[in-house]
Amino acid sequence: MRTRKIIHFDMDAFYASVEIKDNPHLENLPVVVGGSPESRGVVCAASYTARRFGIRSAMACSRAVKLCPEAIFLRPRFDRYRETSKNIHQVFRKYTDIIEPLSLDEAWLDVTVNHIHSPSATWIAQMIKQDIKNELNLIGSAGVSYNKFLAKIASDEDKPDGLFVITPDQASEFLMELPVRKLPGVGKVTMKKLELFGIEKGKQLIAKEADFLIQHFGKFGRYLYKIIRGIDDRPVITHHESKSVGIETTFNSDLEYGEIMRQELNKLITGLDSRLKKKEKKGKTLTLKVKFADFKQITRSETNPFAYYNQTNIPDVVHKKLYEICHTQYPNQKIRLLGVSVSNFTENKKQDGKTVQLDMDYFLNKPHLLTEP
């Protein structure tokens, strides 16, 4: 089997870098793209100068300005970032059409077979970096390896403007010393649990048997067992269907449960219904997202196997769940953000002129529903 050649390309401080490119006087200044420091917004991106002060993405802008009072805060211009992202992809397509975007500023590229017939993925990554710098005056970092997981890990090893390669011969040694907190999917909660078992680096994780990891981490344990061994057979997929459609809002001030919050939730429901119609999507799972004033976040979902969610049936479900959260599960807590989304999209089947949906997973889990009375 041919060894694949995968590049993960990640633009450095993308939003902030685009702003600096368009406004050269901002060069070497602490630039923060996000909300106003007087608002409740968060940092979307920070220039590397701003990062020296400890400012990071997803940080509250009110905290960022305390870390760096001289920071220059700019509202995001997503249309401009999308336009620039398209230009970056034009550079990618000089070398391959097998491109899987992760976001506006990062993507995987499969260059096993490429347009310039080069045997070297490292050389192609160097050329892409140079082209983007010359044509767009932007910098990015590239990771090169034989699968998507290792390429993505590699792209973060030498930022900014870096190029890091992990060959099949180097992978085992590299993974042994890799902090497990760097593994995709390992968040704070999982990391604390891993630490309880004395697992902080790859060499400690790889010493655990599959049964042990599955027992303590469920399906994620199976993932950990494979990924720390460098096993990742996922192909680079050029087109992704959206798995969910959602909308959320951060309030100008923390809200208690009441009429104002219910009105805000109704606005979200209307917006969600509009997005579902625009994308021509129908789903059977409805999710309510709540972020409290202390930034603790929870979600509550409900799946209806017999009907799609739309503006007719969404309000009853999400209002009920919000009431339960605010009155029973987390009483007297103020809320800073609400979000609603629909997922579990399925295809329709036409039968006798009517639309019929068969969710076989649902029935297989409830065999009594297939038995005639």
Enzyme catalytic residues: 106
The closest of 273, 279, 275 to 313, measured between CA atoms, is 273
The closest of 166, 99, 96, 132 to 11, measured between CA atoms, is 132
Between CA 202 and CA 197 the distance in angstroms is: 13
Report the relative pairing of strands 163-165 and 140-145 from DSSP bridges: parallel
Element (H or E) spanning 363, and its range? Answer: helix 360-365
What does the chain come to in residues?
A: 373
**Residue 187 buriedness (CB in 10 A; 0-12 / 13-18 / 19+):** exposed
Element (H or E) spanning 283, and its range? Answer: strand 283-292
The closest of 314, 260, 261 to 285, measured between CA atoms, is 314
Between CA 292 and CA 338 the distance in angstroms is: 9
CB neighbourhood size of 212 (10 A)? 13
